[in-house]
Amino acid sequence: MKALRTSLITTGLLAALAGSAMAQMGPGGMPGPDGHHGPRMEKMREHMREHMGERHKQHLADLKGKLKLQPNQEAAWNTFEQAMQPPAPPAARADRAAMEKLTTPERIDQMQTLHAQREAEMKKRGDGIKTFYAGLNPEQKKTFDAETARFMAGGPGMRGHQH
């Protein structure tokens, strides 16, 4: 609970700092896609990815402790943990200028390709969860359900995650 509170406070402070930094406009008008905020935003995105990665590892460690896995379940846990790794960050953000040069059908194809990639990643995670879940005993399943329900509940916040 203490770690959760600390991460919430840290996230709140980062959001407040990011908001105030973005609200201060420098000389020369609004920054565009290639404006002076580009490197700063990329650095902030990288910091957030690192922070989320640390939180992800901590969530998995907490879950493993609560499940009280048996030695014969370690291999299944390792497979589950591998399936749950966050996807690598995109090599580059969508270039707005390049997207504007595409025709509407080409943009649709591009969006469908990205959607298919995200869907494949989601399926891989889902299959990993189902395989691991099948190897749990009834008490472990109850614990797993209780611990993961809050992340799949939906609602406001970080894409349904309520911390």
How confident is the model over 39-87, as pLDDT tens digits?
677 677 676 767 677 888 888 899 999 999 999 999 999 998 888 887 7
User: Looking at per-residue confidence, does 106 or 48 come out higher?
Assistant: 106
Contact 83, 125 (CB under 8 A): yes
User: What integer pLDDT is reported at residue 155 of this predicted model?
Assistant: 47
Is the pLDDT at 141 greater than 50? The verdict is yes
- Cβ neighbours, 10 Å, residue 140: 18
Measuring CA to CA, which residue among 50, 138, 126 is closest to residue 84? 126
Q: How far is CA 68 from the centre of its chain?
A: 26
Predicted TM-score of the model (pTM): 0.58
Residue 12 has pLDDT above 70, yes or no: no
Q: Which pLDDT band holds residue 111 (cuts at 50, 70, 90)?
A: confident
Residue 67: CB atoms within 10 Å: 19
Structure-model confidence comparison of residues 44 and 146, the more confident one = 146
pLDDT at 160: 47
